[in-house]
Amino acid sequence: MANRTIDHALTARSLTSAASDPTHAGILSFMRRKYSKQLKGVDAVVWGIPFDAATSNRPGARFGPQAIRRASAIFDNDPQYPFDRDLFAEMATVDYGDCLLDYGNHSKTPATIEREATKIIRSGAYLQTLGGDHFVTYPILKAQAALHGPLALVQFDAHQDTWPDERGRIDHGSFVGRAAREGLIDTDASIQIGIRTHAPEDCGIRILYGYDVEEMSAAEIAETIIRQVGERKAYLTFDIDCLDPAYAPGTGTPVAGGPSSAKILSVLRKLGALTVVGSDVVEVAPAYDHADVTAIAGATVAMYMLGLHAEKLAERAPLR
C-alpha cells in the first residue's frame, strides 16, 4: 500500500498515470482521470453538461454526468475490454468537470455550451461529452462544424429528433433538423440507428429502424454505418434510449423494442474505420434507473468511444 494513493482525480502526478483508488471509494471523476481545466498536452477531454430543460417527457438528465462518473469507477486502472489496453497509458486525458449553466436563464445555454466546447476543441483535444438531454449536442455540433466543416452524424437513438423547430427554441426533439438546415451535418453521409418512432421528416438521413437493428448482425450494422459515412469526418452521438428499456430504464423517453447493450457495444467496437472528431452520451436520467443499470451502460458507451480514439492515437504514434 506504500505506493498507492487515493483521490486520483486530484492527486494524479501524470495525465497518463493509473489510479489505485478502491472501486468503492475516492473522488469520482470519469474513470478516475485527473480533474483539470488545463488543456496543454491533453489528448482527450471528458466534459459534463448537466442540462435537461429541453426534455419533452421525464426530466432528470441534468444528473446524468454525475451518475456516469460514479458508474465509471469500476473501469479504472485495468486493461479495458475489449481494447486489451490501458486506454490512458498513452492518451493524456482529463476530466474537465461540468459546464456552468444558469438554471434560470436558459436562453444563454446554447451559447455557453458552444463557447466552452469551442475552447476545448480548438486546443486539439478530443471532446467526449456526458449529457444532459440531447439538445446539448446542437451547440457542440456548431463548435465542431466551425472547425471541421459539415460532419457525418452517427446517431444512436430511439427518436429522429427532426421535429418542427422555430428560431430560438430549446428542444431535445428538434436539434437534428436544425443541424441539417444550418449545414452543420452532411445529411447524405449521416445515419440514425435504432429509431423506433416516426417524425414528420427525415431530412434525407438514412435510418436503421429498430426492426432493422433486430434483424441485422452487429457486423452488418457497423458495415452499413461505415459505408454511409465514407471518408467524411463524423460526430458520434449516443442517446441512451437507443437501448431497450430493459437495458436502459433510466431515461426520459424510453421506447420498447430496442437492442441490447451487448449488441450495440459490439457495433461501436467495429467503428474503428471512421474518423470520429467528437462524441457524446446523453439522456441518462438516474432518478428512473435501477441498480445503476443505465449509468453503467452510459459509462461503458463513453469508455468505448474513448477506446476507439485511443486506438487512433496509437495508429498515428509513429508519426508524432
pLDDT, tens only, 247-260: 999 999 999 999 99
In the structure grid, which three cell numbers stand for residue 242, read together?
437507443
Give the residue ranges of DSSP H helices in 133-281.
137-148, 175-181, 210-215, 218-229, 261-269
Region of 291 on the Ramachandran plot (φ > 0 left; ψ -120 to 50 alpha; else beta): left
Query: For 85, which DSSP code?
Result: B
CATH of the domain at 44: 3.40.800.10
Q: Residue 93 domain-assigned? A: yes
- In-domain check, residue 186: yes
Classify residue 69 by burial, with Cβ atoms within 10 Å: 0-12, 13-18, 19+. Answer: buried
- C-alpha count within 13 angstroms, C-beta hemisphere, residue 273: 13
Is there a domain that residue 59 lies in?
A: yes
Which of 240 and 6 is assigned the larger pLDDT?
240
Q: Does 27 reside within a domain?
A: no
pLDDT single digits (tens) 189-233:
999 999 999 998 999 999 999 999 999 999 999 999 999 999 999
Whether 28 is covered by a domain: the verdict is no
> What domain range includes position 240?
35-319
253/173: higher pLDDT: 253
Q: Domains in the chain: how many in total? A: 1
What global pTM score does this model have? 0.95
25 lies in some domain: no
Please write the tens of the pLDDT for every residue from 275-304: 999 999 999 999 999 999 999 999 999 999
Residue 7 lies in a domain: no
Q: To the nearest whole percent, how much of the chain has pLDDT over 70?
A: 97
Residue 103 included in any domain: yes
